[in-house]
A and B are shown apart, each in its own frame.
Chain A
Amino acid sequence: MSDPMDTIRAGFFEECGELMEVLEAGLLALQDGTSDADTIASIFRAVHSVKGGAGAFDMASLVAFAHDFETLLDGVRSGTVAQSPALVATLLRAADRLSDLIELSRDGREPTDDFDELAAHLRDLETASPPVGDFTPVALDFGLDPDPEPEPAEQAAAASDAPQDMLTWQIAFRPHSELFSSGNEPLFLFRALAVLGRIAVSIDDSALPNLANLDPDLASLAWRITLIPSANDLTETEIEAIFEFAEDLCDITLECAMAPASVAPAWPDAQLPTTTAPPAAAPPPPASPAKPVPPAGSVTPPPAAKTIRVDLDRVDRLVNLVGELVISQSMLARSISLAGHDGQSDIMDGLDGLQQLTRDIQDSVMSIRAQPVKSLFQRMTRIVREAAQATGKEVRLEVVGEGTEIDKTVVERLADPLTHMIRNAIDHGLESPAERLAAGKPQTGIVRLSAAQQSDRVVIEVTDDGRGIDRGRVLARAVARGLVEPDTRLETHEIDRLLFRPGFSTNDEVSQLSGRGVGLDVVQKAIRDLNGVVSIASEDGIGCSMSASLPLTLAILDGMVVTAANQRMVIPLSAIVETQTLASAKIRNLGPGRNVAALQGVFVPMVDLAQGMGFPPTQNTRDDDRAILFLRPGEAAAYALQVDAIDSQGQVVIKGLADAFGRVPCVSAATILGDGQVALIVDPTSLAEAAGLARAPRPATHLEIVA
């Protein structure tokens, strides 16, 4: 079994992530001037909780920094530190630093850079208010169970073997009334004392008034306790520790004396529990626990969010099983239809019900994995801040649709490509403040990050109001890099696509920020790995917009099942623009193996699916069935896909192949069809590339239809 502390440690870092989100969101509200006392309190608590947890794990540098940060925030909270834009900037920096320290602590590393200056700055800002309190991290060792406390009986036995001269303690204890109202109980204190040795307790009731004058809320009793410690080295501190919580709530004196054994008091052993009669001022005895009553004056608070934490593996197992259910259901449907039942029979009604239910279960299960993009978007605020600082540009980030939900894995794997897209927008898209002013634009550039659900996909978009893509420069660079032939005529969107070609970099000098030798091809690859597509749009002087369209889930795909070379394959519905029968399609031949087909008045290149996938050509399909699917995989130009037949359309369960086969060209995954057969899911983008379409666009694509 794993160490429970490891689990808690992992939980702590998970919690830190959530706390950092609260912190970021709060600081941004502070920056926008939309903060209130609750916001500041939540910011303070976030840092406070990080410190609290970190202290328990002895993460000294994290604790120290969090402490300085917290102290400053406490000043902000109490109003002793004035709010200003400069302060907010410092707080944001501190949040970034805190985030870094959390990551370092998670990896068990110590910071190598020196941020003492920031910590000192935090302290300087705070000087107006007194320190929050001492905080010394203490490493805890849960592994070592403390020795069970010895039973008083054993202690007594030990005491009887004590040397002749015994150290005795005389304790005079007179509780104040407040001791009882604070929930402390003298009897329990005496029991704790009895653990240290043998005790004799005598009660002093001389101050007790007669019953007629007794005020039950006042304390009138005092006790004298004689303690013979079982260990001779018992210190005053140990005794005081027992009365720690009674401090200020009682008069207490401790006297230590060496007493010969003979003078030791006689031990009326039964005395302890009985002589400590309930003190006159004891709180009302606990009522019978039969029926708890709500605390007085408690208003019914809004219910706390009812959530449970579930291991991701369990959810994935459920997702997998639902996939199998979908497959079984479609296999059942097929068997029933093969058995000759028509659309009116009871069994078909039942099947319809099952189908509906299956779909509902599937949606519900998928929604468990769904997560709002909010956390992802919040992380981007830091990226924007850092990029703005590195480039000397002024940037404001606008966020739209952060409540949009998408599969957890997609959210996690979007962080890198999204970071790159944002850096790219700031580095290459936005102009410097001076250039912007010269162009008649506001000095501060805007980067807009948005998410929106569009049917079964989520579109994440990064838009800037910068200069737009300099297409002349892009084309010149592409030619210089040998990516396109000189004098090639390209449509603007084709020029824009060049940005996604591997090795393309628009900056002549590698940019510190988004350069680093990687281009947008990395973004494209990451998005494609998530079954997504990237597209880009730009307008000169107005700005540029890059968007990633992603499936809601990585488990289910809406697809069209087609046949080619006697193989059934699935084409993602999201890529299909239009379907036509081969017979009705307008096709032109441009030479051997180079056909084009007309889509909405424009000829697009044609690819034979069987050929494209590398299957041997077959001719045993009836011509009437042959069809053409017009595909536009979002990021690539449209093309036509010739298939032998279109079988059906519907949802298929995605079964990854990467674990068993690695990356297979033209194939994104596989699925199991209703008849139990395996079918490959075609990746339309890589199919186009394999067919040579994504290379330099051909003049053929620009032929206007003449007929």
Chain B
Amino acid sequence: MKVLAIDDSRTIRDMVKLALSREGIEIELAEDGHHGLEVLETLDPRPDAILTDVNMPRLDGFGFINKVRENPIYAGIPILVLTTESAKAMKQRARAAGATGWIVKPFDPARLVGALRTVTGL
């Protein structure tokens, strides 16, 4: 499995990387939505899933998901939103943007991996 993870916090990127690489999941990292789109273009084959933070400079997580969903090539990639909010409103906004699901930070590594496995079937 290959996952693109986008978060402007180095700490979170490091933790996601640790959690996924321990499970043998290949991981690519990006620092904000724009960067995420750049990295996404370079990935061949495309990632099996994308994890993205919400609050980021330049292009936030929802904006990023919109861009990804606009492109038929990437429209089907499962995208999980990494968020500190667990309120219903956040889920609705994530949903509206086209997210597949969400992981609430601080995340439990096992749950993160489990959710990724569920949405990718891998």
CB <8 Å contact, A295 and B41: yes
How many interface residues does chain A have, given as a range? Answer: 35 or more
State in angstroms the CA–CA spacing of A53 and B84 once bound together. 10
State the B residues within 8 Å of A (CB): 8-12, 14-15, 18-19, 22, 31-32, 34-35, 37-38, 40-46, 55-59, 67-79, 84-87, 89-91, 95, 98-102, 105-110, 113-115, 117-121
- Please, which residues of chain A bring their CB within 8 A of the CB of B76? 183, 282-286
Compute the total of residue contacts between A and B using a CB distance below 8 Å.
187
- Decide if B78 touches A15 in the complex (CB within 8 Å): no
Closest to A300 in B: B38
Q: A191, B55: Cβ atoms under 8 Å? A: no
Chain B CB within 10 Å — which of A42, A133, A245 has the most?
A245
- Across the interface, A146 reaches (CB within 8 A) one of B43, B106, B110, namely B110
CB of A301 within 8 A of CB of B108, answer no
Residues of A within 8 Å of B44, CB to CB, are 289-292
A142 touching B69, Cβ below 8 Å? no
Q: Tell me whether B101 and A56 are in contact (CB under 8 A).
A: no
What's the nearest-Cβ distance from chain B to residue A646, in Å? Answer: 52
Are A298 and B37 in contact (CB-based, < 8 A)?
A: yes
Within 8 A of B (CB), among A433-477: none
- Decide yes or no whether A4 CB sits under 8 A from chain B: yes
* A295-B40, A297-B70, A301-B38 given; A133·B46 CB < 8 A: no
Q: Taking A137-B106, A301-B59 as contacts, is the C-beta distance between A45 and B8 under 8 angstroms?
A: yes
27 A-B pairs in the complex with CB atoms less than 8 angstroms apart = A7-B14, A12-B11, A45-B56, A49-B8, A53-B11, A133-B89, A135-B85, A138-B106, A140-B109, A182-B95, A182-B100, A183-B75, A183-B76, A183-B77, A183-B79, A184-B119, A188-B121, A192-B118, A192-B121, A245-B100, A292-B40, A296-B70, A297-B67, A298-B67, A301-B58, A304-B31, A304-B38
Are the C-beta atoms of B12 and A52 separated by less than 8 Å? yes
Known: A55-B84, A133-B87. 19 other contacts (CB 8 A): A52-B9, A53-B9, A140-B108, A146-B110, A182-B99, A183-B119, A185-B121, A245-B100, A245-B101, A283-B76, A287-B72, A292-B42, A292-B43, A295-B68, A295-B71, A296-B67, A298-B71, A301-B35, A302-B34
Interface residues of A (CB under 8 A from B): 4-5, 7-8, 11-12, 14-15, 41-42, 44-45, 48-49, 51-53, 55-56, 132-135, 137-138, 140, 142, 145-146, 149, 178, 181-185, 187-189, 191-192, 242, 244-245, 247-249, 282-287, 289-298, 301-302, 304
For A147, give the chain B residue with the smallest CB separation. B110
- Beta-carbon contact of A289 and B78 below 8 Å: no
Cα A384 to Cα B118 in complex, Å, equals 54
B109 touches A15 (CB 8 A): no
Whether A284 and B58, one on each chain, are in contact in the complex, defined by CB atoms closer than 8 angstroms, is no
Residue of B at shortest CB range from A51? B84
* Chain A positions within 8 Å of B114 at CB level: 149
Tell me whether A245 and B119 are in contact in the complex, defined as CB-CB below 8 angstroms, given that A289-B44, A304-B31 are known contacts.
yes
Closest to A180 in B: B76
